[in-house]
Amino acid sequence: MISTGAYTVLTTERPTLPPVADGPVELGMQFKASSSGTITKFRYYKVAGETGTHTGRLWSANGRLLKTAVFSAETDTGWQTVTLDTPYPISADTVYIIAVNALSHYAATTQGLATVITNGPLSSIAGNNGRYNYTTGGFPASTYDNTNYFRDIEFVPGQDDPAPPTAPANLSASNITANSATLSWSAATDNIGVTAYEIYRNGTLIDTTQGTTIAVSHLNTAGLYSFYVKARDAFGNRSAASNLADFTTLNTSGITHGSQLTTAIVGPRGISISTFITVPGGTFSGTALSGWGSAARTVGAGGETIDGYWFPAGTVVLQGANISSRITVTSGWLVLRGCKGAVLVNHPAGNGGGAAALFCQLSEFDTGGLKDRRQPAASIVYRCYFPHSGLENVYANNITVTESWITPDPDTVGTEHIDGIQTWGGQRYLNFSRNHLEFNPPHTAPYGLSGLIGMYSDGAQDGFDGYDHVMVNDNYFILNAYGIALHAPLAVPVTNMTVTGNRWVWSDAAEDADYTNAVYHNPSQSIPDYNKNSGNGNHWKNNQWADGPHASEFLWPDNATSATEF
């Protein structure tokens, strides 16, 4: 019987399959509430033949165990309920997973969670639901046919409490390694009480804790990260964000500047791949396509770090493949390692997947953006070789392009401009560092060449037309007679952008030191304030000519050459 004023996700639903003989296995369901409140009970549907002790477990969506309870005084069949010793508060519009183990038999309805089930403030999550794990007590991360395993909770909506907690203060990062760091902050206060702190990485909620310190892992080597924390009370009220903790993880690659790159250490040659299996391209939907065969494998439970980058369980890794047509990644995670081909990372916003190219030779790497209602969780290009093309359309957030050799051909018709790395604007968390960039010939007008790194503002994405948290560091620009090396943002809001350590190879075609194609400057457009004391987090430092008549002199944001630092 359901308590007065309480709700469950499942009501009249019943299993359509006979009792399934299988186990032991953890079985679960994803759900969320439209309002904050408390979970008071765990439930599961028991079928004939199932015996033994059962434990309910409440998990966060990213695998943090939040609450457990052991069932007692069970009946032979039907719904079983355990009341929690302390009601557990949950937040509005936050996904959780309820799981209960089965020892030998369980209830099931195939595709029972393919569409949303709603009851009052509660609802299931459509698709990628019906969770399981054959490790007893393990986080149920796997799914099969959106199966309803009849695991549920009882939920009581919270009372009205309009007062949010104060914002956590003094957030800082310490113990920074290539793949992890420790965050600490001062406690927030609340009129009723703070129940949890939410941890946000690059604008995305990744974890929840009740303490004021947390170790964050699964970071990428030499990665740009921005964290903030919010406090949450028992009624789901969230505080304002804490201060930002921005840092870069340690670089363990051995490359500190793009000038150190050679073609022998990028692309498949960099990992000694010279023999390729031809595979089809087409649309990627989260599992290896027919014909990928032995060139593909799937990352197992717990995820995996590959070449310094962490990828979640279920990621498909395609290695040593010559891709016959462009792969369009629309769901899940795909890693191309030591491959040849082209890829479009085109996940719908909120899908959660992404793609990486590691040690690949590519003719194309594009990403959709919010302007197209697309937004992959992350896109990574590392140690890749672009002998005749660039990254023409990288329009999403969370894009990393590092230690790559990028040499695009011009448009010989002269009707388009060609870029090495082209961004749209309205983007956050971009890392373009330690790359080698130059245009292939012909280098003269009217052939189409534009920016080796072109950071344009072609229109707003999600209401934002500027740039935030961007690194353009330690790149090696080889100038030619036509085309621009760095087109940094102009006339749009720019915050937390660092342009440091870059080097420009002199071109004899430059008319003089202050009228070159090194840094684009349009006098009619405003230049962002790169003064480190401006409070906007921007920083321009140590950007110099590598050779030529002004070797070791400094380039400023307005394209002036100076013997003094900016």
- Burial label for 498, CB within 10 Å (0-12, 13-18, 19+), is buried
Mean pLDDT of 45-72: 96
Task: Enumerate residues 6+ apart whose C-beta is below 8 A from 408.
Answer: 386, 388, 389, 390, 418, 419, 420, 439, 440, 449
Task: Enumerate residues 6+ apart whose C-beta is below 8 A from 9.
Answer: 29, 31, 117, 119, 122, 123, 124, 152, 153
CA distance 202 to 218: 13
pLDDT at 3: 64
CA distance 12 to 34: 21
Examine residue 24 and say whether the peptide bond preceding it is cis (omega within 30 degrees of 0).
yes
Q: Which residues make up the CATH 2.60.40.10 domain(s) of the chain? A: 169-248
pLDDT value at 375 more than 70: yes
What is the helix (H) or strand (E) element at residue 278, kind and residue range? strand 277-279
pLDDT at 481: 76
pLDDT tens digits, residue range 312-350? 999 999 999 999 999 999 999 999 999 999 999 999 998
pLDDT value at 271 more than 80: yes
pLDDT > 90: percent of the chain? 82
pLDDT tens digits, residue range 174-225? 999 999 999 999 999 987 678 789 999 999 999 989 899 999 999 999 999 9
Mean pLDDT of 428-455: 92
Residues 311, 356: contact at Cβ < 8 Å? yes
pLDDT tens digits, residue range 91-144? 888 999 999 999 999 999 999 999 999 887 889 999 899 999 999 999 999 999
pLDDT at 25: 97
Mean pLDDT of 516-530: 93
Three-class HEC string of 142-200:
EECCCCECCEEEEEEECCCCCCCCCCCEEEEEECCCCCCEEEEEECCCCCCCEEEEEEE
Q: Residue 135 has which token pair? A: 């490790």
pTM, to two decimals: 0.74
pLDDT at 511: 78
**Closest listed residue to residue 167, CA positions, set 184, 188, 192:** 188
pLDDT tens digits, residue range 463-518? 999 999 999 999 999 988 788 999 999 999 999 999 999 999 998 887 788 888 99
Residue where the block lists tokens 């060449």: 449
pLDDT at 235: 64
pLDDT at 2: 62
CATH of region 7-157, choose from 2.60.120.820, 3.90.550.10, 3.40.50.150, 3.30.460.10? 2.60.120.820
More confident residue, 415 or 257: 257
Q: Which residues make up the CATH 2.60.120.820 domain(s) of the chain? A: 7-157
pLDDT at 1: 57
Band the pLDDT of 160: cuts 50, 70, 90: low
Band the pLDDT of 68: cuts 50, 70, 90: very high
Band the pLDDT of 448: cuts 50, 70, 90: confident
What is the helix (H) or strand (E) element at residue 284, kind and residue range? strand 282-284
pLDDT tens digits, residue range 80-91? 999 999 899 998
Q: Which fold has domain 169-248?
A: Immunoglobulin-like (2.60.40)
Positive or negative torsion for Cα 203, 209, 214, 217: negative
